[in-house]
């Protein structure tokens, strides 16, 4: 706001003066105050330093006066207005209090109306004045209420929508409606009573004229007296249902007053669900009243009473009602709250079994999928589209299970959808063939426990039914697939076992193999012991699992290879001859014939020998003692045979021994089949075979003594598959320790390693290591030992794998030789490392007293200390006496125009210059931090030469040996030493660092002498 301009006669108040001075005389006053009396200031007031504050003070004082005046005027106006309002309110309250029977209460603010609790006694409404009761419109309406015609009532209602005003001279100026709350309730109930009764005389055309206007007046009054009307009709469904039926056919009229009907219906919804009114009639009746039908369905879902009354409604009618609301919700035509009510009702209906057509089932499942997610996602939309694409019409249980797994995998769909799928899955299983059911069960996921329990129970029932009705061969394939996939379905194996015991005994071989697979799936032995006794037709002794496995081999599928001699020995011990012969005895006779047929030159003799062995001792004597002589005879005199895929172990052993007798060299993989029939043979026969096999393998370069020892121990342990390589490695290590770790023993070890590498062709060392206990792990461990003995430094991971594989069984001499070899190999790879320090810490690590990280930390610390000591010795030998200050060393020297370490000889420099330039490692982002940590470890000096010129961080323990970028593995080095290290390699660089200190002095002063001579010649 702008202050009005100054004019003559205006007064300006000053805070420092009590007198008012005219505005026109303000300069004179300033002169009197500041420059003395009657002396005017020669400087203009806007430029005078003394007068300027007075002008500012004057303007601020004037603004304060105007603000105070405005505040006073506003306060006065507010006081006047408040007094006027008090007078008006007093007159109004006095006029209202003069009315008899009128209770006047001051109105409350809107925010306090819900917080005030009325504790006064409920009083009846005041009696209406006689003028109101005797009004013509009221009397006409009272007469219409007594009549039995809804037409008359509607016409009377059309004139009852106005007000009754007081007479001009009446003191009470209050106006009254023609219809109050009581009259409105009576009219509503009377209309509901007469509508659709015998007295109903309303026609559709009547709702357009006065009758329609009367109904509008009635609904308008109901809306005005909403609380009283709802209290009268919403307490009992018997009062509300006639009202709803009365207005059910007036859609347009009901649509205008939907809020009133919703408020009236919602409180009574729980009572409507428990009423005797048929459910279809309720749904059709509530359809005309907006979202009250959806509220009723939601109440049904929350109360859970639909399953008890589901028989009252046709499934198609319920489906159409629910789908109509679901389509509106999916299209976004409903608010979020109502959409959530639709989702809740659909989820509750998913647990019910409703008979629908295939198309309705498809739409139903798609809607339930939509309802099961709080927010539509891409995965749920794809699954919903998959359902609508005809998944249920195909009725394939495999597709249904796949859908269930997909729904569970996305983690958004609840169990209701999967429970709905359970019913569809049951129908699909009933309509599928047994072979198709077997395929579906075989394709089950490895995590069926993620399915709901109801679906798991359905799968178990399907497994039990399949075990009773399906073919045993199909059951065998199914269980074999489950075992291979490590399938776990709680209760499924028990269901199969129960069905397998309840059904008649089918083919013995598949039945035995099914029992063995059920044991692999977790069934106890005692549960399947009756199956083993049925197969043997007698009591079973020993392990049930091993017995079923042997019987599965006895009744092997057609085209299967002949069981091995060890397996045949166990089978014949289990079965044994009985009188009268059983099915198992007949199968054992066929097995004996198949064993004898492997040696065609001695078939009859071998068959008779095995039969006599069964009759005589019933397995007390090992079968190998009976068979081994015939194998040797077949190898020496039998006809030559070619290699066949279906040949047994007897014929294969005879063929390989025949090749050995002919002077051919046997391969490594031929040793096991050649020796396996002689596991339980007599000692002289086993010795003969061992000598023959070892001599044949030695033709390829392997030591014969090592192979003999390996074959002997291999026969003692029973010739396990893949175990001969480990026995060869153990035998080679034993010979290495016994014959000398540096002499003939080392030669035998190297020859064995070369032969194993040639026979096994191990993978590239950079490939993934083989697991401990395997043949390849033993070969890799042996190669790690040979490389360490040859000077190649191994890392800790390779040593650990070798120790777990075979090197952990080394004796004292072998461990000492390995420790020395590894220590010297590490010293070649880490310049400055002392062998004694490496040996001591390697021994601690090998015995499990230190871990690899501690060993590396100790070795790095010792290396840095050793390098610092060597540098000090070189400095003292070179600069003895008055030379450099303490702790100082040269950074480099010039050799052939290049910077070289100050102690490096000329020959070493020439070798470095001739080598290729090393590839620089990329600088790391935290190179500066690493350099600071490396300087702290080496006291700010190069750990090789002792200079402090442009130091950089470097790994002391190299990456090739498993070194990591850790503070305990960092050391500082100058660029010159780093370049020489990269050119010369760790071994030559380490030799230069560990050379005698006097050599460094000769190199330095010789170089200085040559430099001085060259400079003198240049100056001359």
pLDDT value of residue 105: 55
Of 189-193, 336-340, 822-826, 886-890, least confident by mean pLDDT is: 886-890
SS3 assignment, position 163: strand
Q: Are 531 and 501 in contact (CB under 8 A)?
A: yes
First to last CA, the chain: 98
Q: What is the DSSP string of 200-244?
A: ----GGGGGTHHHHHHHHHHHHHHHTHHHHHHHHSS-HHHHHHHH
Which of left, alpha, beta for 235 (phi over 0: left; psi -120 to 50: alpha)? alpha
pLDDT value of residue 15: 38
Q: Residue 144, Cβ neighbours under 10 Å: how many?
A: 21
Q: Residue 904, Cβ neighbours under 10 Å: how many?
A: 26
Please say whether the dihedral angle defined by the alpha carbons of residues 285, 290, 293 and 299, taken in this order, is positive or negative. Answer: negative
pLDDT value of residue 452: 63
Q: Are 223 and 260 in contact (CB under 8 A)?
A: yes
SS3 assignment, position 300: helix
Distance of alpha carbon 149 from alpha carbon 202, whole angstroms = 8
Nearest C-alpha neighbor of 984 from the set 896, 898, 920, 910: 910
| Bridge partners (DSSP) listed for residue 21 | 12
Of 30-34, 39-43, 642-646, 673-677, least confident by mean pLDDT is: 30-34
Residue count of the chain: 1020
Q: Are 902 and 893 in contact (CB under 8 A)?
A: yes
DSSP code, position 162:
S
Q: Are 472 and 510 in contact (CB under 8 A)?
A: yes
Mean pLDDT throughout 795-820?
Answer: 91
| Bridge partners (DSSP) listed for residue 4 | none
pLDDT value of residue 14: 38
pLDDT value of residue 55: 45
pLDDT value of residue 119: 47
Q: For residue 913, what are its two tokens?
A: 């210059």
Q: Are 500 and 544 in contact (CB under 8 A)?
A: no
Which of left, alpha, beta for 433 (phi over 0: left; psi -120 to 50: alpha)? beta
Counting Cα atoms < 13 Å in the Cβ hemisphere of 429 gives 21
Q: For residue 94, what are its two tokens?
A: 């006095």
Q: Residue 226, Cβ neighbours under 10 Å: how many?
A: 15
Of 47-51, 358-362, 468-472, least confident by mean pLDDT is: 47-51
Of 209-213, 291-295, 529-533, 962-966, least confident by mean pLDDT is: 291-295
Confidence of residue 380 (pLDDT cuts 50, 70, 90): low
Mean pLDDT throughout 300-319?
Answer: 71
Please say whether the dihedral angle defined by the alpha carbons of residues 27, 29, 35 and 39, taken in this order, is positive or negative. Answer: positive
Instruction: Answer yes or no: is pLDDT of 955 > 50.
Output: yes
Confidence of residue 858 (pLDDT cuts 50, 70, 90): very high
Instruction: Answer yes or no: is pLDDT of 179 > 50.
Output: yes
pTM value surpassing 0.75: no
Which of the listed ranges 306-320, 526-540, 790-804, 903-917 does the model predict with the highest average pLDDT? 790-804
Q: Are 339 and 357 in contact (CB under 8 A)?
A: no
Instruction: Answer yes or no: is pLDDT of 178 > 90.
Output: no
Q: For residue 576, what are its two tokens?
A: 């044994």
Mean pLDDT throughout 817-826?
Answer: 92
Distance of alpha carbon 246 from alpha carbon 193, whole angstroms = 8
pLDDT value of residue 727: 92
Distance of alpha carbon 572 from alpha carbon 244, whole angstroms = 88
Confidence of residue 516 (pLDDT cuts 50, 70, 90): confident
Of 40-49, 224-233, 308-317, 558-567, least confident by mean pLDDT is: 40-49
Higher pLDDT, 56 or 774: 774
pLDDT value of residue 416: 62
| Bridge partners (DSSP) listed for residue 900 | 893
Give the 3-state DSSP-derived string for 273-293, with helices as H, strands as E and coil as C.
HHCCCCHHHHHHHHCCCCCHH
Confidence of residue 859 (pLDDT cuts 50, 70, 90): very high
Instruction: Answer yes or no: is pLDDT of 236 > 70.
Output: yes
Q: Are 425 and 383 in contact (CB under 8 A)?
A: no
Instruction: Answer yes or no: is pLDDT of 209 > 90.
Output: no
Higher pLDDT, 754 or 120: 754
Distance of alpha carbon 716 from alpha carbon 819, whole angstroms = 32
Percentage of the chain beyond pLDDT 90 is: 12
Confidence of residue 819 (pLDDT cuts 50, 70, 90): very high
Q: What is the largest CA-CA distance in the chain?
A: 162
pLDDT value of residue 509: 85
- Non-local (6+) Cβ contacts of 98 within 8 A are 171
Mean pLDDT throughout 401-406?
Answer: 66
Instruction: Answer yes or no: is pLDDT of 100 > 60.
Output: no
Instruction: Answer yes or no: is pLDDT of 367 > 90.
Output: no
Distance of alpha carbon 417 from alpha carbon 410, whole angstroms = 13
Higher pLDDT, 397 or 802: 802
Instruction: Answer yes or no: is pLDDT of 28 > 50.
Output: no
Nearest C-alpha neighbor of 358 from the set 319, 307, 322: 319
pLDDT value of residue 847: 92
Please say whether the dihedral angle defined by the alpha carbons of residues 441, 444, 447 and 448, taken in this order, is positive or negative. Answer: negative
Place of tokens 């500082």: 972
pLDDT value of residue 21: 37
Instruction: Answer yes or no: is pLDDT of 751 > 50.
Output: yes
Distance of alpha carbon 1008 from alpha carbon 994, whole angstroms = 23
Higher pLDDT, 16 or 368: 368
Distance of alpha carbon 167 from alpha carbon 834, whole angstroms = 126
DSSP code, position 528:
H
Query: What are the backbone angles phi and psi of residue 306, rounded to the nearest 5°?
Result: -75, -35
Query: What are the backbone angles phi and psi of residue 586, rounded to the nearest 5°?
Result: -65, -40
């Amino acid at each position: 706001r702008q202050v009005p301009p100054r004019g003559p006669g205006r007064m300006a108040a000053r805070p420092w003066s009590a007198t008012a001075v005219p505005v026109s005389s303000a300069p004179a006053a300033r002169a009197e105050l500041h420059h003395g009396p009657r002396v005017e200031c020669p400087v203009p007031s806007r430029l005078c330093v003394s007068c300027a504050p007075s002008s500012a003070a004057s303007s601020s004082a004037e603004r304060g006066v105007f603000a105070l005046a405005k505040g006073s005027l506003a306060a006065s106006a507010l006081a006047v207005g408040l007094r006027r309002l008090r007078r008006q309110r007093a007159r109004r309250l006095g006029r209202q209090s003069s009315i008899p029977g009128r209770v006047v209460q001051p109105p409350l603010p809107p925010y306090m109306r819900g917080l005030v609790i009325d504790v006064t006694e409920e009083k009846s409404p005041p009696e209406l004045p006689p003028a109101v009761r005797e009004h013509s419109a009221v009397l006409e309406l009272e007469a219409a209420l007594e009549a039995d015609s809804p037409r008359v009532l509607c016409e009377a209602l059309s004139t009852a929508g106005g007000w009754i005003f007081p007479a001009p001279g009446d003191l009470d100026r209050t106006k009254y409606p023609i219809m109050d709350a009581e009259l409105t309730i009576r009219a509503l109930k009377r209309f509901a009573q007469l509508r659709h009764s015998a007295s109903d005389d309303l026609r559709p055309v009547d709702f357009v004229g006065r009758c329609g206007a009367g109904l509008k007046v009635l609904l308008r009054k109901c809306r005005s007296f909403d609380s009283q009307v709802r209290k009268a009709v919403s307490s009992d469904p018997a009062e509300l249902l006639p009202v709803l039926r009365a207005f059910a056919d007036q859609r347009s009229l009901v649509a205008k007053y939907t809020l009133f009907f919703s408020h009236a219906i919602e409180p009574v919804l729980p009572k409507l669900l428990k009423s005797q009114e048929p459910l279809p009639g309720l749904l059709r009746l509530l359809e005309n009243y907006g979202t009250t039908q959806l509220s009723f369905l939601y109440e049904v879902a929350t109360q859970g009473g639909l399953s008890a009354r589901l028989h009252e409604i046709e499934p198609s009618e319920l489906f159409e009602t629910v789908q109509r609301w679901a389509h509106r919700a999916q299209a976004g035509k409903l608010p979020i709250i109502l959409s959530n009510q639709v989702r809740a009702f659909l989820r509750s209906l998913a647990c019910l079994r409703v008979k629908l057509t295939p198309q309705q089932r498809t739409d139903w499942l798609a809607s339930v999928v939509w309802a099961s997610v709080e927010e539509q996602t891409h995965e749920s939309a794809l699954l919903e589209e998959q359902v609508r694409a005809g998944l249920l019409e195909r009725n394939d249980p495999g597709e249904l299970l796949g859908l269930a797994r997909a729904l569970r995998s996305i983690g958004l769909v609840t169990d209701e959808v999967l429970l709905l799928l359970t019913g569809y899955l049951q129908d699909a299983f009933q309509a599928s063939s047994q072979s198709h059911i077997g395929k579906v069960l075989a394709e089950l996921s490895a995590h069926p426990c993620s399915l709901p329990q109801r679906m798991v129970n359905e799968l178990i029932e399907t497994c039990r039914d399949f075990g009773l009705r399906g073919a045993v061969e199909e059951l065998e394939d199914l269980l074999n697939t489950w075992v291979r996939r490590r399938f776990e379905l709680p209760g499924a194996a028990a269901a199969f076992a129960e069905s397998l015991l309840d059904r008649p005994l089918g083919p013995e071989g598949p039945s035995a193999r099914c029992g063995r697979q059920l044991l692999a799936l977790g069934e106890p032995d005692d549960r399947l012991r009756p199956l083993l006794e049925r197969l043997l037709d007698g009591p079973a002794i020993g392990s049930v699992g091993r017995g079923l496995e042997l019987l599965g081999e006895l009744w092997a599928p057609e085209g299967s290879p002949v069981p091995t001699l060890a397996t045949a020995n166990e089978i014949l011990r289990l079965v044994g001859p009985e009188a009268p012969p059983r099915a198992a005895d007949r199968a054992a006779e066929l097995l004996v014939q198949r064993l004898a047929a492997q040696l065609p030159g001695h078939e009859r003799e071998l068959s008779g020998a095995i039969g006599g062995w069964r009759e005589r001792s019933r397995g007390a004597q090992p079968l190998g003692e009976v068979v081994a002589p015939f194998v040797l005879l077949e190898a020496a005199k039998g006809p030559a045979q070619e290699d066949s895929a279906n040949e047994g172990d007897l014929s294969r052993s005879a063929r390989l021994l025949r090749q050995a007798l002919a002077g051919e060299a046997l391969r490594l993989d031929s040793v096991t089949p050649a020796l396996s029939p002689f596991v339980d043979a007599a000692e002289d026969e086993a010795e003969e075979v061992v000598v023959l096999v070892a001599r044949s393998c030695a033709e390829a370069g392997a030591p014969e003594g090592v192979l003999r020892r390996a074959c002997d121990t291999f026969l003692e342990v029973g010739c396990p598959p893949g175990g001969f390589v480990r026995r060869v490695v153990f035998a080679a290590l034993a010979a290495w320790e016994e014959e000398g770790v540096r002499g003939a023993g080392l030669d035998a070890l190297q020859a064995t390693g070369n032969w194993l590498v040639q026979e096994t062709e191990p993978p590239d060392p950079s490939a993934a290591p083989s697991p401990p206990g395997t043949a390849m792990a033993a070969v890799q461990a042996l190669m790690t030992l040979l490389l360490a003995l040859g000077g190649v430094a191994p890392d800790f991971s390779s040593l650990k794998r070798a120790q777990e594989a075979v090197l952990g069984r080394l004796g004292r001499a072998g461990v000492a030789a390995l420790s020395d070899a590894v220590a010297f190999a590490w010293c070649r790879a880490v310049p400055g490392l002392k062998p004694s320090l490496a040996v001591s810490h390697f021994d601690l690590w090998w015995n499990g007293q230190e871990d690899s990280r501690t060993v590396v930390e100790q070795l790095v610390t010792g290396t840095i200390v050793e390098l610092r000591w060597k540098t000090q010795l070189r400095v003292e030998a070179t600069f003895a006496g008055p030379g450099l200050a303490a702790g100082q060393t040269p950074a480099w020297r010039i050799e052939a125009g290049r910077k070289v370490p100050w102690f490096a000889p000329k020959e070493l420099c020439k070798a470095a210059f001739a080598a290729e330039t090393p590839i620089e490692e990329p600088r790391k982002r935290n190179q500066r931090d690493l350099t600071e940590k490396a300087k702290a470890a080496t006291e700010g000096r190069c750990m090789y030469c002792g200079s402090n010129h442009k130091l950089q961080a470097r790994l002391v323990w190299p990456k090739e040996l498993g070194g990591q970028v850790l503070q305990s593995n960092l050391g500082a080095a100058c660029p010159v030493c780093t370049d020489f290290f990269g050119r010369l390699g760790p071994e030559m660089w380490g030799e230069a660092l560990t050379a005698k200190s006097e050599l460094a002095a000769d190199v330095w002063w010789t170089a200085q002498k040559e430099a001085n001579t060259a400079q003198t010649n240049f100056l001359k």
